[in-house]
Structure 1
Amino acid sequence: MSDQVKIITTEDGSHSLYHEGLKETYHSFHGAFKESIHVFMLYGLDSWIINNPNKRPLRIFEVGFGTGLNAWLSLVWAEQNQVPVLYHSIEPFPLSEEIYSQLNYGDLDDGIFHYKPYFNRLHKIEWNQGTVVSEYFNMKKEKTTLEVVQLYPSDVVFFDAFAPSKQPELWEKPLLEKVFESMNPGGIFTTYCAMGKLKRDLKDLGMKVETLPGPPGKKEMTRAWKL
């Protein structure tokens, strides 16, 4: 896998990866760091806590551990907000240490620089078992696919698979339904994708679908609520 990816620098100075086999980047060229904060922190975790100020713990499911950026930002969020988080992520093709150890996310913001050591720890923890990573962050990452993974109840879903044009099977309605059925009432499904078919399928599943302003360089994104 690692021989198919190379590190690139996006417009906000943060790293991403380019997958040569898929001819696709892991994040937006316009800024990996800003994209993750906008799509998954702002419209995911921040929105959830506003609507659930007293519900603990927060259970997150992520489709696509990838570079570990979303997981690391969620750990920072959990520690800063003192909200216990149970984080479940899947990734069939983990990165090598040679790749993830070079990623620069911990150097981008002085306010969260002291959380930098946790980034490599997230990559190094054992696969397929739950691990206490920090005071407010427990994680289980599984080396598997969405088709076969056993899902736990979730409050927030980060749907961060490669684009539908590159991995169409992950965006088909049966797998979306699998994720939907695992979500708790009031749960949030958030993704960078704004494809019309995705929004129609989520509506057909009974979700309240919102088209929201996208991160830098992208006009729109999608968020859906399980009623």
Structure 2
Amino acid sequence: MSNHPVRIITTEDGSHSLYHEGLQETYHSFHGAYRESIHVFMLYGLDSWLARNPRKYPIRVFEVGFGTGLNAWLTLVWAEQNQIPVLYHTIEPFPLEKEIYSQLNYIEHDHGIWHFHKYFEALHQFPWNEGGPVSEYFNMKKDKTTLEEAQLYPSDVVFFDAFAPSKQPELWKKEVLEKVTDSMKPGAVFTTYCAMGQLKRDLKELGLEVETLPGPPGKKEMTRAWTTSDQ
């Protein structure tokens, strides 16, 4: 996939997403970008892992697809609000230009977390291929690379937020998924908006415990999977 033009769109919950001209695909659900990220990655990712592991810090998160920065920003807010240290590793081969990310409306979408607004741009301006603190409870390493070429670290939580299998099939191959699952720690959680049957079969064959869960607004189902606690 090459770096095709993107344009800002407004999804049904009022939050922005992007439309990728080359793939003819949106970065988030048209039914609500903000609601999708909260549902798939915060509720069924971070919150679920914390419920099983209430005192195991820091939490190590790996994200496939930094994209608009929405998942990273919501995770930073989560870490600060809960006062739980998070080590966040994210990859993105085609970073957005400032003229795009500076127009995204996430900091205006939820006034309850307005005081974290300064961190959204800080996440985008954070140097690529380097790591360090962004806020008191949030450290990030942001790599400009593909999943196939990325160096992965042990993770507790995986946000698998690649474009849909029909648009970016190479990222959903079993051997690529295996690279990710091999990096997951015992008792780690893998969460994605995708509910494709082949994905669930592959994750099961890779030794994960797979769940089909209710999807975010506008989507019937999503997938969550856990590594065994003694692997």
Give the TM-score normalised by structure 1.
0.99
**Per-residue Cα deviation, 1:34-88 (whole angstroms, up to 9, x for no partner):** 0000000000000011110010000000000000000000000000011100000
Q: Distance in 1 between matches of 2:77 and 2:7?
A: 26
Aligned residues: 227
Q: Distance in 1 between matches of 2:46 and 2:138?
A: 14
Contact 1:2-1:95 at 8 Å conserved across structures:
no
Structure 1 unaligned runs (5+)?
A: none
- Residue type matched to 1:136 in 2? Y
User: Could you say which residue in structure 2 is the equivalent of 1:148?
Assistant: 149
User: Could you say which residue in structure 2 is the equivalent of 1:7?
Assistant: 8
Fraction of identical pairs, as percent: 77
User: Could you say which residue in structure 2 is the equivalent of 1:108?
Assistant: 109
Which consecutive aligned stretches of 4+ in structure 1 deviate over 6 angstroms post-superposition?
A: none
**Per-residue Cα deviation, 1:161-216 (whole angstroms, up to 9, x for no partner):** 00000000000000100000100000000000000000000000010000000000
Deviation at 1:16, TM superposition (A): 0.1
Q: Distance in 2 between matches of 1:27 and 1:120?
A: 19
Alpha-carbon RMSD across the aligned residues, in angstroms, is 0.9
Paired residues for 1:109-124 under 5 Å: 109-124=110-125
Q: Distance in 2 between matches of 1:149 and 1:219?
A: 32
- Residue type matched to 1:106 in 2? I
User: Could you say which residue in structure 2 is the equivalent of 1:179?
Assistant: 180
- Residue type matched to 2:42 in 1? M
Deviation at 1:3, TM superposition (A): 6.0
User: Could you say which residue in structure 1 is the equivalent of 2:27?
Assistant: 26
- Residue type matched to 1:17 in 2? L
Deviation at 1:131, TM superposition (A): 1.9
Deviation at 1:102, TM superposition (A): 0.2
User: Could you say which residue in structure 2 is the equivalent of 1:48?
Assistant: 49
Paired residues for 1:1-227 under 5 Å: 4-227=5-228
Q: Distance in 1 between matches of 2:213 and 2:66?
A: 23
Deviation at 1:2, TM superposition (A): 7.2
Q: Distance in 2 between matches of 1:167 and 1:110?
A: 34
Contact 2:4-2:22 at 8 Å conserved across structures:
no
Q: Distance in 2 between matches of 1:218 and 1:164?
A: 16
